[in-house]
Amino acid sequence: MYSIGLTGGIGSGKTRVADLLAEWGAAVIDTDDISRGLTAAGGGAMAAIVAGFGPVAADPSGALDRAWMRELVFRDPEARGRLEAILHPLITAATVRASEAAAGAPYQVFVVPLLVESGRWRERVDRICVVDCDPDTQVERVGRRSGLTPEAIRRIMAVQVPRATRLAAADDVIVNDGATTPLQLMERARALHDRWLELAGAKDRAVHVGQQAPRP
The Cα 110–Cα 42 span in angstroms is: 25
Using alpha carbons only, give the angle 63, 65, 68 rounded to the nearest 5 degrees.
165
How many whole angstroms separate alpha carbon 204 and alpha carbon 188?
25
Cα 83 versus chain centre, distance: 18
Encode 103-131: b = buried (16+ Cβ within 10 Å), e = exposed.
Answer: eebbbbbbbbbbbbebeebeeebbbbbbb
Is 14 known to sit in a ligand binding site?
Answer: yes
Amino acid at 81: G
**Is 12 annotated in some ligand binding site?**
yes
16 marked among binding-site residues:
yes
Beta strands at 3-7 and 127-132: parallel, antiparallel or unpaired: parallel
- Would you list which residues are annotated within the binding site? 11-16
- Would you list which residues are annotated within the binding site for ATP? 11-16
